Every structure is written in C-alpha cells, then in structure tokens.
Amino acid sequence: MNLEIEKKLSEYKTHIIDYATLKSILVNMNYVNINDKINNLKQKGIIKSVKKGLYIHTSVINKNIISKEIISNNLLESPSYVSLDYALYFHGLIPETVHTITAITTKRSKIFKTDFGIFSYKQIKKELFAVGIKIENSKNGNFMIAGKEKAVCDKIYFTKDVKLTSKRAMIDFLENDLRIDLDELIDFNTEIISKYYDISKSKKIQILLKTIEKHSKSN
C-alpha cells in the first residue's frame, strides 16, 4: 500500500504536502489510524517533517529535485519571498554559495532548522513587501523571489552594522563586503529602487540609487 501512497504523493510536484491533504489521501485509501500511518511513513522515509503539520514527500517516483525556494515560500502561514544573500547568489550577483535560505515576510522574524536546510526570515513593513518581487518558474512549480534590484535594496536596508552615508562608502560595501561587480548594476531598473526609497525613506537606499545612477552614466 505504501507504493500506492507514493504514487498519490508524486502528484504533488512541489513535494510539499500539509497534514489536512495527507489525512484526506489516507482516509480515501481507507486508513483509520491516520497519525500512526503518518508516523510509519516518516519511519520509512517516504515523508519528512519540515515543521508541525507540513511535510516533504521524498518518493522516488517524483524525480524533480526538491526546491528549497518553494519550501521557503511555504513554511510560513503568511506570504514570503526569497531575498537577501540567497537571492543575491541566485541572481549571480555575489560569488559565494549561500546555504541558508534567506527570505522576507511581513510577520515577525523567524528561523527554521530542517533536514532540507536552514530557512531564515526577516520582517519588513507591508508597504515594501511587493516592490520588485518576481515569480520564478521551476520544474516543481513557481516561487516568489526578490528581483536583483529588490535583493540589493533589501540587503542594504537590513544592514545595520555598516555606515553607508556616502557614495564612496556604498561602493566600498558593494565591491568589498558583498563582492558585487559594479558593472552588474548598470542595467538595474532604477524605478524599483526609487519606489523602494519613496516608501522606506531610507537614506541608505537613496545613496544606493544615486550610486547606481552615477555608475550607469559613467559607462
């Protein structure tokens, strides 16, 4: 019967399944002791808990690679999008591999440590949430991630331990701390950064905008 369960689970391309859905599947297959069966599936390695009431099915029937980005989008009950260091790495703006999946939410900051990695969330004001978000496609489904402009803005916005009060300081931070090639910023959509500044009123974002505009004109 486990094979039949795996076939059913393989229909969920994201690999993500919640308790209510899993219970419904098992009830329709005439299981009575649902929680016992769920524990059995975990022991067999067919599903793994990500958090209470949320599971990843690891069935070999579904060959798609499990998407950490999609997991990140689904861990919180409220919407979130991948951003900060992981999004900078995703867009090829920084050279180092980022293992912690960093994301933004309008709810309080939180960290989940799971078998699939560490998922970190930072809280942002609601008005800034939707600015510069992209929908990316994968074999598992779609996920929300900060566009490259939004990812840089979020990183600057949440950096508290560095004084970014001038264009020179901003360039030093981008090039030496983040190791971003400034030429990567030339084709940035400055309207997104401008909107981010209008809402946040962050002096650091204003300086980022002026830095990018000046660098783009000089090229």
Q: What is the pLDDT along the chain (219 residues), one digit of tens a residue?
A: 688 888 889 888 889 999 999 999 999 999 989 999 999 999 998 999 999 999 999 876 666 678 999 999 999 989 999 999 999 999 999 998 999 999 999 999 999 999 899 999 999 999 999 999 999 988 888 999 999 999 999 999 999 988 999 999 999 999 999 999 999 999 999 999 999 999 999 999 999 999 999 887 766
The DSSP letter of residue 218 is: T
Q: Tell me, what's the pLDDT at 149?
A: 97
Residue 1, burial from CB neighbour count under 10 angstroms (0-12, 13-18, 19+):
exposed
| Cα–Cα distance for residue pair 27/21, rounded to 1 Å | 10
Domain boundaries, the chain: 2-57, 68-217
The answer to whether the CB of 70 falls within 8 A of the CB of 14 is yes
The one-character DSSP state at 67 is: P
With 0-12 / 13-18 / 19 or more C-beta atoms within 10 angstroms meaning exposed / middle / buried, residue 77 is exposed
pLDDT of the residue at 60: 67
Query: What pTM was computed for the model?
Result: 0.90
Q: What is the pLDDT of residue 38?
A: 95
What pLDDT does residue 214 have? 86
Q: Please report where in the chains the tokens 């975990």 appear, as a residue.
A: 42
Query: What local confidence, expressed as pLDDT, does residue 140 receive?
Result: 82
Alpha-carbon span 148 to 93, nearest angstrom:
8
At residue 65, the pLDDT reads 78
In this predicted structure, what is the pLDDT of residue 62?
65
